Structure 1
Amino acid sequence: MNNIEFVDVVLDVRIGDVGKGVVSYDLLKTHSHDLCVKFNGGPNAGNTIYIESSDNNNTPTYKKMVLHMLPIGMAKSDVYNLISSDCVIDIEKLKKEIEYVKSYGIDITGRLFISKACHIITKENIEYDCQNNLVGSTASGIGPTYANKMLRIGKRVEDYAEEFEAMGAQVVDMRKFWTSEFVVNNVKGVLLQGSQGFELDINWCGTYPYCTSSTCTIGGAINTGIPIRKLRNIYGIAKIYDTYVGKMEFQPPGDEDLIRIGDLGREYGSTTGRRRQCNYLNLDKLKEGLIINNCNICIINKVDIVAELGIFRLYHNNELKEFSVLDDMKNFIIEQMSIYVPDIKEVIFSYSPYRI
């Protein structure tokens, strides 16, 4: 693997829906990654990006794209893509998503690799999930599929190899992929793209059983088999406020400011369309997520929402703290990072839905 020069990782260090897709896409456009790897989850993920073009007056225009199972790199024609072994796949949804990407005029030929060890979401998995959905999941069959994987009774991509190849994907053995002639000749920079969030991780969630069934942490990224010594930047992504989708009570009742934040931020799930519950940023939990995932860069999205509303609050030491101006809130976050998360070398505040 000496041909690989650097590996970057994008992780959600909160509860999902923090803008990982936008960050991943922006990094792919600016940091010379050759390969984008999705390392966990399935169609329960929803990554929204905006593809930029120009009109006749050279004014930038943006076309929205939402991907669920495909890595974000599929939106960039010169990037190869891999769905790694710990992902789960709904075959029919993947077929539709590939056609959806093609509808943007994007050629996928030779650009999509899928681990033969990914497990398949069956109709039975989905039916079970719908009938026994006690935690407010997306009812996509994710939990039952991972359960079958652990019970060693699941179906895998290798059982349907011809069907995947007919879609234009190449089914690969991850034990051989990283040393393959293809990788040696074509891959120098790698971006590992996580799904869901640290607080939803099956092992690290603080609100079990209100969690997902996969590994959403840096451990899941390393499980791809990538050389650890090549890790360069681990990006921990959050929003300036927190959101959650599921049956757990998360948003304090009667807080009109949180309703305003949710309205302006258009906080609806890209997979289910459900309204997300909103709360103020929990800085204590954000710091935990950054520390445990060994992040060295923190990106905080949707700052434009609180800036427009003039609502500057966060939780610190389990108490709600309010600031008179946005700069005071940002400076407090940076100060806390410098004290308690010394590995963080940069905190980036993003005001745009189109880029970092």
Structure 2
Amino acid sequence: MPALVLLGAQWGDEGKGKATDLLGGSVDYVVRYQGGNNAGHTVVVGDQKYALHLLPSGILSPGCTPVIGNGVVVDPSVLFSELNGLNDRGVDTSKLLISGNAHIITPYNVTVDKVTERFLGKRKIGTTGRGIGPTYADKINRVGIRIQDLYDESILTQKVEAALDGKNQLLTKVFNRRAIEVGQVVEELLSYADRLKPYVADTVLVLNQALEQDKVVLFEGGQGTLLDIDHGTYPFVTSSNPTAGGACTGAGVGPTKISRVIGILKAYTTRVGSGPFPTELFDEDGDALRRIGGERGVTTGRDRRCGWFDAVIARYATRVNGLTDFFLTKLDVLTGWEQIPVCVAYEIDGERVEELPYSQTDFHHAKPVYEYLPGWSEDITKAKSFSDLPKNAQDYVKALEEMSGAPISAIGVGPGRDETIEINSFL
């Protein structure tokens, strides 16, 4: 069963879009299995740069069928905007499939997200304000709106009424906002139905049949391991499961069909939003990583917090995802440092800890324990093989591989599709 999961092994923004795009020419289906338009991918093809937020990266590969699975939450207005942008640039988007069981981000979900974050003030989670969390909450509370509901106006109206019964109480009595009209929401959602219909499919059936026919299916996670609702730095996490297990529930395939799990690992560490970050830098090194690496969120536009590589969270990602190998990205960004610190453990209350603490309190108090590896000054962006890298760059990669607990199969030495060193084939 040639099914692969590709996911972020840190806090997201590791370069998953590039990795998926590289594989796109060799796979038959690329599937987004969780998250929504809070997950941004940047893909560089030649001199063209594409910023994708909701669509699977495989939409840029002509022979590939891109799929939005049942575990994704979909804002139709964002979806159409993204499709229009790609169509205007000559990209064929007609093969896209969307699960009828995927939940819709409604206008009231976005409103609730924004007013709640504002209300929390300094205790805010750091959401993107795009309605992701409230939509997943509606799903769990069984008052969510699914794409298939757009094709039965009676059911849609009943579901919107049920959802707004409670939300309007919250908006008017707690947040002092105007109540949202049922009819207005229903009218807006129905306006999307005709354009969505050609894309809607039973994607669970499609993907399982594809696997039975020995098609290659790539499951693409948004965000990253440390943002997983169950296994991340809770409560500063996303509202879904970007970890490997999420591919099974978010796409409807059994775990026995997954043959490989690839973790995308940046050569340093970044995160967007609030929450603990042991190796975060507040000095010139942090500013340099941000500037050289172009560390600005694709979706949010916010500057990313930057820090040195954290081997503790890399080992954790290997464990909770069952990673078979890593794709190391942005190695070129580290060119020019005389020494490069790597976090190999934490110090918590005077004790050395080499695995991620399960306690939120302990993780908040974790201080990085660094080892210092020699840097390099040579330009590595033209390297085509591992042997082309300077010795110190090779040693850095080998050290990260040993510390992280899984082999590194590919290395990104620049943003372009062709600026990649492949050590072991992914397929």
| Fold conserved between structures, TM > 0.5 | yes
Q: Is the 8 Å Cα contact of residues 108 and 168 (structure 1) preserved in structure 2?
A: no
Q: Structure 1's 222 and 184: CA in aligned 2 closer, same or farther, altered over 3 A?
A: closer
Q: Is the 8 A contact 2:67 2:203 kept in 1?
A: no
Alpha-carbon deviation of 1:255?
Answer: 2.0
Secondary structure in 2 aligned to 1:312? strand
Of 123, 141, 147, the residue aligned with 1:151 is 141
- Give secondary structure in 1 for the equivalent of 2:83: helix
**Distance change (3 Å), C-alpha of 1:184 and 1:232:** closer
Q: Is the 8 A contact 1:35 1:187 kept in 2?
A: no
How far residue 294 of structure 1 moved from its aligned partner, in angstroms, is 0.9
Checking the alignment, whether the CA contact within 8 Å between 1:164 and 1:170 is kept in structure 2 is no
Deviation digits for residues 205-262 of structure 1, max 9, x if unmatched?
1x21100000111111122223433433211111011111113364646421111111
Q: Give 2:396's aligned residue.
A: 329
8 Å contact from structure 2 (residues 20, 220) kept in 1:
yes
2:127 equivalent to 1:98:
no
Q: Does 1:12 align with 2:8?
A: yes
Q: CA deviation at 1:34?
A: 0.7
Give the TM-score of the pair, scaled to structure 2.
0.73
1:135-155 deviation per Cα after TM superposition (whole angstroms, max 9, x unaligned):
111111000000000000011
Aligned partner of 2:21 among 21, 25, 40: 25
Paired residue secondary structure (1:222):
helix
Structure 1 contact 41–86 (Cα < 8 Å) conserved: yes
- Distance, in Å, in 1 between the alignment partners of 2:116 and 2:14 is 28
- The one-letter amino acid paired with 1:276 is R
More helix by share: 2
Structure 1 residues 65-74 or 226-235, which shifts more?
Answer: 226-235
The answer to whether the 8 A contact 2:37-2:53 is kept is yes
Paired amino acid for 1:105: G
Q: d(CA) in 1 for partners of 2:242 and 2:415?
A: 23
What does 1:1-356 correspond to in 2, within 5 Å? 5-29=1-25, 32-52=26-46, 62-109=47-94, 111-133=95-117, 134-161=124-151, 163-164=192-193, 166-167=195-196, 169-178=198-207, 183=210, 188-205=215-232, 207-223=233-249, 224-248=251-275, 250=277, 252=280, 254-318=282-346, 319-325=369-375, 326-327=392-393, 328-337=395-404, 341=405, 344-355=406-417, 356=420
User: Contact conserved, 1:20 with 1:47, CA < 8 A, in 2?
Assistant: yes
Q: Distance in 1 between matches of 2:212 and 2:398?
A: 45
Unaligned runs of 5+ in 1: 53-61
Is the CA contact (8 Å cut-off) linking 1:11 and 1:197 kept in structure 2? yes
Identity %: 31
User: When the two structures are superposed, what TM-score results if normalisation uses the length of structure 1?
Assistant: 0.87
Measured in 1, the distance between the counterparts of 2:292 and 2:269 equals 14
User: Structure 1 residues 28 and 175 mapped into 2: Cα distance closer, same or farther (>3 Å)?
Assistant: closer
When the two chains are superposed, the root-mean-square deviation of aligned CA atoms in Å is 2.1
Letter in 1 for 2:77: E
Q: For the residues of structure 2 that align with 1:253 and 1:293, how far apart are their CA atoms?
A: 27
Q: Is the 8 A contact 2:211 2:217 kept in 1?
A: no
Q: Which has the higher contact order (CA 8 A, sep 6+)?
A: 1
1:132 aligned partner, one-letter code: T
Give ranges in structure 2 of 5+ residues lacking alignment.
118-123, 152-189, 347-368, 376-391, 421-427
CA shift, 1:272, in A, is: 1.1
Distance, in Å, in 2 between the alignment partners of 1:269 and 1:24 is 18
* Cα displacement (A) at 1:267: 0.5
| Count of residue correspondences | 332
